[in-house]
Amino acid sequence: MTQVVSPFDQLRSAIAGSVVTPEDPGYDDARRVWNADIDRRPAAVAYCETTEDVATAVTAARRASLEISVRSGAHSTSGASVGDGGLVIDLSRMNDVEVDPERRRAVVGGGALLRDVDAATQAHGLAVPAGEIGHTGVAGLTLGGGMGWLTRRHGLTIDNLLSARVVLADGRVLRAAEDENPDLFWALTGGGGNFGIVTSFEFALHEVGPTVHVGMLFYGVEDGPAALRTARAAIRDLPADVTFQVVALHAPPAPFVPEEHRFRLVIALAVVGFGDESSFGAVVDRCRSGVAPLFEMVGPMPYTALQQMFDETFAWGVHCYEKATYVAELTHDVAETFLAGLDGMDSPLSVVHFYVLSGAYSEVAEEATAFSGGRSPRLAVFLVGAAADAAGLASQRAWSRAMFDALAPHSLGAGAYVNGMGADDAHRIRDSYGTKYDRLARIKAVYDPENVFHRNGNILPAR
């Protein structure tokens, strides 16, 4: 009698890593992603340890007609990195970071988290410009663009990408760089997970810190109009070494928050200085000059601490829904719409985030990368509805959508940063890439003609 061997047993014996199926202990952990609102049951999760493992897993999934999802940091809020009934190819064990301080280069495993990269590079006083929460995955963040505190100073993460190793849908492994498979390389600079599975990235590094200047100034919502007028003027005149963000949040029960203001809805103006104290101090003074903040936290801080400052606030296990858009400026109309929209933001976990994108961000030519957004100075807006449970999320999902609709007349087009897209934003992908979409579709037709990698901001292969 012949014994039938399951594809997962075969995969298990073929890879250095491990495979978890519903019968295995640890399956519930293996299927979890950052957003607790995503509750999916894949047929298996393959924890890969090498590029060969990834190639073997892709081939095995295709042979068994299983849908593939690719997971690195598991932070996709729409749950793109885990699907029902398919194979999750997980890279979290491939998190090595090798730094060459002489050449100012880092080679980063496809499953590394931002905090892995920050720790290894800051040991040499260097950094890769990336995002703001230490437990976010480098891979998903980079492939969509990657924005954070250093974007004004050194550009998006993709603006610092030098090369990538990629497993294609047919199991081949390629290096992509400006001088090798340049079309694929270009597609990776913003085109998301559409083209293959990246098992390592090579980045250019910059001198950063190790100490930076951080100012967080918090205002009552009633003082919002004045605080936002000040912010608008400050943003327009920012020195090159200072970055700025505007956030609406409920004040956390942190030591720097006076007891009477804890859990209160506030507007925060966040200023980070990467150069000397005087240019930073001038921006902070300007923020104080309009209307007085309710409270503030201003001082020097290690860069690595800044990069993990909000890790607990955005910890794994919240139920989350988000929408994103771009606005050109914090005009009177944008400010008014934003403040009026805060009425429905009644979960202490929800936030609105305006990332200021200008400076080095705007020095990169429009077509130089596949990024889903123009390079003119702008603010990326994230409307993040979050709650402790699914019932609480329902009202915050409605709030996020309503605020998005209200901001639409003031937005820069119908598209957005693809890494901030909600689960119901698939129809906005084409608008987000604009004129780049057709080029991406042609490259997709070359490297993934059957759309094997479709659990992402999907670009359909050109016919």
Ligand X SMILES: Cc1cc2nc3c(=O)[nH]c(=O)nc-3n(C[C@H](O)[C@H](O)[C@H](O)COP(=O)(O)OP(=O)(O)OC[C@H]3O[C@@H](n4cnc5c(N)ncnc54)[C@H](O)[C@@H]3O)c2cc1C
Choose which of 143, 357, 387, 452 interacts with ligand X (CB under 6 A). Answer: 143
110 binds ligand X, rule: CB under 6 A: yes
CB atoms within 10 A of CB 255: 6
Instruction: State yes or no: residue 350 binds ligand X (CB under 6 A).
Output: no
Cα-based distances in Å from 322 to 43, 115, 252, 384, 387 = 27, 23, 21, 4, 12
Residue 88 in contact with ligand X, rule: CB under 6 A:
no
Cα distance between residue 186 and residue 167, in whole Å: 16
Stretch that binds ligand X, among 193-201, 296-304, 362-370, 398-406 (CB under 6 A): 193-201
The answer to whether residue 81 forms part of the interface with ligand X (CB under 6 A) is yes
144 near ligand X (CB under 6 A):
yes
Shortest distance, position 285 Cβ to ligand X, whole Å: 27
In degrees, to the nearest 5, what angle opens at C-alpha 419 toward C-alphas 112 and 442? 100
Query: With contact defined as beta carbons under 8 Å apart, do 348 and 318 qualify?
Result: no
**Total site size for ligand X, rule CB under 6 A:** 36
Residue 219 sits in the site that holds ligand X (CB under 6 A): no
CB of 358 to ligand X, least distance (A): 16
- Residues 109 and 327: their CA atoms lie apart, in Å, by 34
Choose the binding region for ligand X from 41-49, 69-77, 360-368, 403-411 (rule: CB under 6 A): 69-77
Q: Indicate whether 129 belongs to the interface with ligand X (CB under 6 A).
A: no
Tokens 């966040």 sit on residue? 270
Q: Which stretch binds ligand X (CB under 6 A): 141-149, 251-259, 264-272, 340-348?
A: 141-149
Let me know: does 48 contact 114? Beta carbons within 8 Å: no
Q: Please pick, from the candidates 43, 57, 80, 386, the single residue that binds ligand X as defined by CB under 6 A.
A: 80
Per CB under 6 A, the list member of 280, 314, 371, 437 interacting with ligand X is 314
Amino acid at 311: D
Binding residue (CB under 6 A) for ligand X from 20, 38, 55, 91: 91
Q: Least distance (Å) from ligand X to the CB of residue 110?
A: 4
Q: CA distances (Å), 343 to each of 53, 252, 330, in order? A: 49, 19, 19
DSSP string, 160-201: GEEEEEEE-TTS-EEEEETTBSHHHHHHHTTSGGGS-EEEEE
Q: Candidates 21-29, 40-48, 74-82, 408-416 — which segment interacts with ligand X by CB under 6 A?
A: 74-82
CA dist 167 → 48, 88, 102, 164 (Å): 12, 15, 29, 10
Q: Is residue 160 involved in binding ligand X (CB under 6 A)?
A: no
The yes or no reply on residue 121 touching ligand X (CB under 6 A) is no
Indicate whether 185 belongs to the interface with ligand X (CB under 6 A): no
**Smallest separation (angstroms) from ligand X to the CB of 50:** 13
- Is 151 a binding residue for ligand X by CB under 6 A? The answer is no
The C-alpha atoms of residue 341 and residue 255 are separated, in whole angstroms, by 29
**Residue of 457, 431, 451, 369 lying closest to 196 (CA atoms):** 451
Binding site for ligand X (CB under 6 A): 34, 69-77, 80-81, 91, 110, 131-133, 136-137, 139-141, 143-148, 192-193, 197-198, 314, 419, 455-456
